[in-house]
Amino acid sequence: MSREGVKSFDDVAMAYNKAFTLTPYIEEITNRALLYLNARYPIHLKGPAGTGKTVLAMYIAQLIGKPTTMIFGNEAVETSDIVGSDYGFTKKLVEDNYIHSVRKTVEDYEQKWIDGRIINACEKGYVLIYDEFTRSRPETNNILLSVLEEKVLELPINYYGNNKLLKIHPDFKIIFTSNPEEYTGVYKSQDALVDRFITLELDFPDYDSEVSIAIANSGITEELAKNLVLIVRKFRENNRSEFLVSLRDSIKLCKIVKEGKINVAYDNEIFKKVCIDVLTSGISVQRTHVDRAKIKEELDTIMKMVLQERTRNMVSQEQTRYYGGKR
């Protein structure tokens, strides 16, 4: 397999963290995560999609300052992908022509071992990020139980020619991330595995943090970001039990408004349609019971309330400037 186009962890982290924003909310979670990791407990960042779990895991790993390996969970992941396995054969051909009249040929085949991603990290004390680990089948993750509890990794026979337990380096750290179990494609994690790490429940950041993140990722003005994020958050609060309205939606809306130079006003039909398109994208096509007309009406009410308040504030500020603070 060609490695052309394959990115290192640093390349991936740089892309994810290009506009990473360290807010008080993120800093507080990071400090707790480092506290547990330094006490040699694995951590588990759990929360809805779009709450920044992967980016936060990468940020924490970079703070630790050790080489980092990532595993992305999915149903196709096998134990061999994590630990390693035999891969094909190597052929060794020896021709003995020492006696001119006698020609002897010996062919020898042996399997080639390919290390899985976890071996190097366990052996050398690196950081392992297992992103969305509950998307992998539970039996695949059983190999991690002895790693987290007994601090050993059982290696297959062919790795050293016989069974061997690899002792885990004391500096080895592992960061898990996962979505809630009710999400499609997510398996229930084993109690035995959950019992071995400390879970940090992540939610959407507070309003100020979400505004800061939206600004950092879009370059939009603070005034516009505050109003756009407020629309997203009010819509999220009203529909949280029905479908996903994530942090990414705030970023999307701010980016589109800035790049399209869209006038943020309630009487701008283009702006209203953009809001509807972005914020209803989280409704799965399978959710046929959702009343989309009612949702659009609700979003229209939210936009009207937020943007009319914005207009009143702008008029008030203009009057204050005009009268020098005195009316």
* pLDDT tens digit sequence for 158-188: 555 555 788 899 999 999 999 887 676 788 8
Burial bucket for residue 319 (CB in 10 Å: 0-12, 13-18, 19+): exposed
pLDDT of amino acid 223 = 92
Give the pLDDT confidence score for residue 315 in this predicted structure.
42
pLDDT tens digits, 270-307: 999 999 899 888 776 545 566 778 888 898 999 999 98
Tell whether the model's pLDDT for residue 134 goes beyond 80. yes
Nearest in space to 291 (alpha carbons), one of 253, 250, 249, 238: 238
Amino acid, single-letter form, for residue 129: I
Pick the closest to residue 161 from 122, 124, 110, 119 (CA basis). Answer: 110
Instruction: Tell me how far apart the terminal alpha carbons of the chain are, to the nearest angstrom.
Output: 74
Residue among 59, 53, 111 at smallest CA distance from 247: 53
| 285 CB neighbour count, 10 Å cutoff | 5
- Residues 298 and 238 sit within 8 Å (Cβ to Cβ): yes
Quick check: 304 and 266 in contact, CB under 8 A?
yes
Q: What is the pTM of this model?
A: 0.75
Tokens at residue 53, please? 């779990």
pLDDT digits (tens, 9 = 90+) for 231-271: 999 999 888 767 788 889 999 999 999 999 999 998 899 99
β partners of residue 105:
95
Please count the residues of the chain. Answer: 327
